[in-house]
Amino acid sequence: MRIIPAIDIINGECVRLSKGDYNQKTIYNSNVLDVAKNFEDQGIQFLHLVDLDGAKASKIINHKILEQISNKTNLIIDFGGGLKSEKDIEIAFESGATQVTLGSLALKNPELFSETLEKYGSEKIILGADARSETIAVSGWLEESEMNIYDFIKEKMKGGIQYVISTDIDKDGMLEGPSLNLYRKIISQNPDIKLIASGGITSTNDLVQLKSLGCEGTIIGKALYENRITFNDLKPFL
């Protein structure tokens, strides 16, 4: 199971939100590149980079930070937030993203989503399936839909998606443990899925359980920043 630390960006700073609430923001570092370099120094290979400004603005904003990290580290970066157009996606890849995560686009513009998947291939496109009470939420979680998460994932997997990042929004940033039942159900319905779990990871025991469920990766945010999980703890998983 891949360990993927998260960096969320607002105003060029490394932040974490609680339950996706922009009003509940904690700033952990004003230099995002330093955070990324530290991850790499600790043996981390992968990075989940989220442009929260972009998610709110519905267009890519922090691509220069993506470019900096890509140029100055060897981290394999998946990038999301505000990628609503063909041009935004192009900019993300040109700026150094290995993969992009598309959630709002997949829900609201399925035709462009399918075209993007065909253009770049399923190794490069991750479906963002973030939900509150099993219902998909998009646009930086500011907008809720009526789409059930299980139907959403099943539909996109039929269309050729392999990778899915799923966050239980009510767990995100709360350090209360991940949504094991949600992930168990997703994997049981889609045995071929490469599921990346996100939200609520608090301990190495959470990681053990997610691995045993069959998750392909797990995203860790606040637990790392607040030393609930240390890089030393992560060594057996790396």
Extended strands (E) in 106-211: 125-128, 131-132, 135-138, 143-148, 163-167, 194-198
Smallest CA-to-CA distance from 69 within 49, 85, 53 is with 49
In the annotation, is 206 catalytic? no
Catalytic pick from 8, 51, 53, 206? 8
Catalytic pick from 130, 168, 172, 206? 130
Cα 137 to chain centroid distance, Å, stands at: 14
- Secondary structure of residue 139 in the 3-state scheme: coil
In the annotation, is 8 catalytic? yes
Q: Quick one: DSSP state of residue 48?
A: E
Residue 3, token pair as written in the block: 């360990």
Extended strands (E) in the chain: 2-10, 13-18, 21-29, 46-51, 76-80, 99-102, 125-128, 131-132, 135-138, 143-148, 163-167, 194-198, 217-220
Distance CA 106, CA 89 (A): 13
Residue 34 has a CB neighbour count (10 Å cut-off) of: 11
Distance CA 57, CA 83 (A): 10
Distance CA 156, CA 114 (A): 9
Active site residues: 8, 130
